[in-house]
Amino acid sequence: APIQAPESLRFVTCSHCNTRLKIERSGGATYTELLEDMRETQVEMAADLDTIQLQNELDRVDREWADEQRGFETVDKRGRRRLPSDESGTVGSLLGLVMAFFMVGMLATALSNDAPSIFPIFIIGMLVVLGINVLKGFHDSEKYADARKAHERRRGRILSELREKGALKGDE
């Protein structure tokens, strides 16, 4: 049935069937569009927008992690960048332990041979520095592992949401 509506009106409800309509005017033509169809489109667009926002959040989390990792990097004598690891902490600790035993042996020898008093002080100072470096290595490795786990949790939560929406391609 024809509907009479003023030019300024954009939405109407049919008094006969209670259908909500949107009035469209294009050139000389005027027609109506069912709002239910528009509602489906809006729901689809909202779902697409949620997916895009999650993908953007995933990209942001990965960029932030890359920046955060740079703060954990150390540079060796050859200019190579390295991240702390459990293995490097263990190897460093074992080397430190071997050096400590060697230094304690040197200290015992120095004390038993009446070496100048500066020599034992020097060895004790080296042992303290060695101990501090070993503890720092453990601390850095643990701190990096905690940060990595936190990143993996954030990333996993986002990936899970994307899987729920069926928005993941491949085996991400």
CA dist 9 to 6, 18, 23, 42, 62, Å?
6, 17, 7, 21, 48
Q: What is the mean pLDDT of the chain?
A: 80
State the pTM of this model.
0.57
Secondary structure string (H, E, C) spanning the chain: CCCCCCCCCCEEECCCCCCEEEEEEECCEEEEEEHHHHHHHHHHHHHHHHHHHHHHHHHHHHHHHHHHHHHHCEECCCCCEECCCHHHHHHHHHHHHHHHHHHHHHHHHHHHCCCCCHHHHHHHHHHHHHHHHHHHHHHHHHHHHHHHHHHHHHHHHHHHHHHHCCCCCCCC
By CB atoms closer than 10 A (0-12, 13-18, 19+), residue 94 is exposed
pLDDT tens-digit profile of 11-28?
Answer: 777 776 667 777 788 877
pLDDT tens-digit profile of 79-132?
Answer: 888 887 766 666 777 777 788 778 888 777 877 887 777 777 777 888 888 888
- For residue 80, what pLDDT is reported? 86
